[in-house]
A and B are shown apart, each in its own frame.
Chain A
Amino acid sequence: MSRLARFWMVVQLAFRNLYSAKGKNILVGFLMLFGTCLVVLGTSLLDSIEHSMAKSITASVAGHLQVYDKNARDDLALFGSGFMGQSDIGVIADFDRVKKALSQVPNVKAVVPMGTNMAEFYSSTLLDRTIESLRQALSAGQAQKAQAIAAKIRAMATMMEGEFNNRLQVLKNQSEVEKQLSDIRRVKSAAFWQDLETQPDRVIEFLDTRLAPLVDENDGYFMRYLGTDLQLFAQNFETFEMVHGQMIPPGRRGLLVNQKFYDDVVRNRVARVMAYLHQKLIENGETIADDPLLQNIVDRLVRQYRRITFQLQPDDARMLAKQLQAYLPGAQGPIEELVQEFLRVTDDNFQDRHRFFFANIAPKIRLYLFDIGDVVTIRSYTKSGYLKSVNVKVYGSFSFKGLEKSDLAGAFNLMDIITFRDLYGMMTQEKRAELQKIQAQIGLADIAADQAENALFGETDQPGEAVRANAQGFDEFADIDLKATTDNGKSLHDTTYDQADIDQGMALHAAIVLEDPTQLVASQRAIEQAIDQHQLGLQVVDWQTASGMVGQMVTLVRVILYVAILIIFLVALVIINNTMVMATMERSVEIGTIRAIGGQRAFVLTLFLIETLLLGTAAGFLGAGLGAGLVSYFGQVGIPAAHDVLVLLFSGPRLYPSFGLGNLIAGASVILGVSVLATFYPALIATRIQPVVAM
């Protein structure tokens, strides 16, 4: 009973002392409150980000763990390492062995082979496709249709002539442009088309080789692709979802294009800018007048008129000219000028022009460089550095749910791993046999370096070889049917493969999806043991490490937050310490009296600790409450992802944070720890005050 009463008296004394120095204690309390609030808010946000980022990354491309070559020169960085160039992460030469060994490890749900690379992609232009339809009409003997198509091509040539006339005025190398103009004018002329019925091949060849290359509407586009076992990928990466088209059927080669990439890169630039401006001006409420960046985009938009005019069919061009003349009061002139006038958007007219564009112009042009269902040519550098091209069908578009607006997640396009291996320059047995056959046909032989000169120029006359070279020029492939890329003559995208083909080959890395992600650390250890046991020569990293810079970002933010908290608490610590030391000095007579009438040093120490703990608890309680309140508020309204990286970190366009008991305990623990630490020195001084001071 007396202990309780004594404690209550100490509490009363502590309250009185806190009150008597209320000015200082309010300042100290505010610092403590702010610090606690920051701890609760910061750790809650970081935990929420970590949770959402884990979902973003593990459920999109990384899985929970990744394995790759133990002796890789670079670290695996799925979302980029922050440095230029492709990382060299080595090769998993025998994926089948890895899959079999790691699938046995408890808690492993799936081992998904992967490989990432960059490639250029090409697709046919409108002119290419019109020429192709002409070729088909001629082959089918549809003379009337062929004439109609020919008229289209002439009209297109007319538009090209105008374009190239403009070039002639601004380009220095006029002779080249004049030559090109001469070709265009030839196609425009009636004389050119007189040969259509008599010499159709010559006409088509001229169009293919001289006119078509002059259309440069889709050069220089790069794509990042992830080659994988697509069926396994779709089953195990839960955020993957198809948007348009269809999933690549099992055993088929193909490409799934990311919807974000499709909209941002493949889409017609004018349509892309219109969509971007709509988001900024209409959805976000920003204005062109207030934003220099938007002004710049609007200025450049006018110069993109060719992206529309060049794609218009002659009939559509005439129709659009009429529509624009009606839409733009007083506007006259050719279609090019009308479109330019239309593209001069302002804050006032944008919404209506956006509607007009997608209602009247978009249906008349090709909105995307390639459509779902098209075959595109992908060209990439192989591991050994030479260029390799494949034609693949684009089966559909997909997105990672919640990451639809993330550039980082949106950069991944998906491809079957067999095509990936082709682009990577993987030498299969089939390819090796094919190469040997070619080598045998052209009489290729390995020659030692010191024999090279003799072999090239002849030690003695070799009339047979000379004759062969003269007869065939330097076309060593003359005897070979290069149209058939495989032995059965099918084009690449018609070939099929099975699960054994997927497994029995190389991969650059492999994602490991776990049954229970909470056991990640234990599973990582078990996988390391399995790797050692089977001598797979791999290393295993968690998703955060595997994702590169992005994965480390949360760690970085956490460090920054902890440093900020540390600074705040250091300041609080110094202030509390000074305040308490001053208070101790002012209270020396009182402390001396307590000591004189029988108060032990421990009693004085308790008194000081309780004072600080009371202040710390009150400030900590309020601070934690404020922090929790702020987290709850943000949890309701969401924190917008202002940057693309944040979209990935937030697992969507907004973060809806939440807090847990752990965050509150962390806040309270930190503040109480700081309080006790800050009190230690003044309390020590207080216990050393002698009772004689009171006398």
Chain B
Amino acid sequence: MENIVELKQVVKEYPLGKLTVRALSDINLTIEKGEFTVIAGPSGSGKTTLLNMVGCVDTPSSGSVTVRGQRIEQLGDRARTQLRLAELGFIFQTFNLIPDLTAAQNVEFPLLLQGTLTKKERQRRVAELFELVDLTPQIKQRPNELSGGQRQRVAIARALVTQPGIVLADEPTANLDSVTGLNIIDLMKDLNQKRQTTFIFSTHDQRVMQHAQRVIQIVDGCLSEGAPAS
């Protein structure tokens, strides 16, 4: 299988006043295409920092991060942004939908940023995704007219609309009730299987971990890989 993400001896440190806080220590990690991976760990363990590295929104203090064959620490801001737009999809803990755009416009937004598809193609792809996340009736509603689960479904559709190789989700169920959360996880797993999209998400929810194909534990910035909870 193709290595879609590769981290070698990644260290991330943040200055905190006169101190330096080490968020990640000597991380070595490889994720293959089509994996459904959970990064698990308690709060402050470094899950989000690790996800930021993989998501090209942050760069390591040392070591290397390779995403789809590109060393992100060697890329400039513009190239990293382009890489995110082309290869990555994001699902945020607080959904991060743009309030005054409709659900469909929110999903269409990354396609507009890409600027490669015609209007008809964009509409077709948006409609297809809404069908996929089972939200077609709500397509013209605005985020404030949707429930939390529905919003996260819209966010998932937005993350998938550019057909990225990797979808990153930071605590995607944290703001959802348990049933809705599990439904979302089921949906992501379903998409992972149908589309062979790589999913990497962080969580500290044991029930969510049960659905993962691979669970990477992180404690105090260090990795320890374990089998998914059964």
| Residues of chain A having any CB pair with chain B under 8 Å | 1-3, 5-6, 9, 12-13, 16, 19-20, 589-590, 593-601, 603, 690-692, 694-695
Contact = CB atoms under 8 A, between A and B. Distances in A.
17 contacts: A2-B115, A5-B119, A6-B112, A596-B55, A597-B84, A598-B113, A600-B78, A601-B77, A601-B78, A691-B81, A692-B52, A692-B57, A692-B58, A694-B57, A695-B55, A695-B92, A695-B170
Interface string B128-145: 000000000000000000
Contacts of B90: 593, 596-597, 694
Which secondary structure dominates where chain B touches chain A? Answer: helix
Of the listed residues A6, A595, A691, A692, the one surrounded by the most CB atoms of chain B closer than 10 A to its CB is A691
B115 A6 contact: yes
A2 B112 contact: yes
B92 A9 contact: no
A354 B185 CA distance: 101
Contacts of A692: 52, 57-58
A369 B116 CA distance: 93
B121 to A, nearest CB: 9
A596 B118 contact: no
Interface stretch (B60-68, B97-105, B218-226): B97-105
A263 B14 CA distance: 90
A598 B52 contact: no
Contacts of A595: 57, 81
B158 interface: yes
A595 B82 CA distance: 10
B117 interface: yes
B127 interface: no
A593 B112 contact: no
Contacts, number: 97
A695 B57 contact: yes
Contacts of B105: 9, 12
A2 B57 contact: no
B52 A695 contact: yes
Contacts of A12: 100-101, 105
A597 B110 contact: yes
Nearest to A8: B112
Contacts of B119: 1-2, 5
B82 A598 contact: yes
Contacts of B96: 589-590, 593, 694
Given A596-B57, A596-B90, A16 B100 contact: yes
Interface string B77-99: 11001101110011010101011
B110 A690 contact: no
A596 B84 contact: yes
B110 A5 contact: no
Interface string B13-35: 00000000000000000000000
Given A9-B101, A595-B81, A692-B57, A2 B117 contact: yes
Given A1-B119, A598-B84, 17 more contacts: A2-B122, A5-B112, A5-B119, A5-B122, A9-B105, A9-B109, A16-B101, A595-B57, A597-B89, A597-B109, A597-B158, A598-B162, A601-B81, A691-B57, A694-B57, A695-B92, A695-B170
Contacts of B43: none
Contact of B118 (A1, A6, A16, A590): A1
Contacts of B110: 597-598
B106 to A, nearest CB: 10
Tell which of A6, A589, A598, A599 has the most Cβ of chain B within 10 Å: A598
A13 B159 CA distance: 20
Contacts of B57: 595-596, 690-692, 694-695
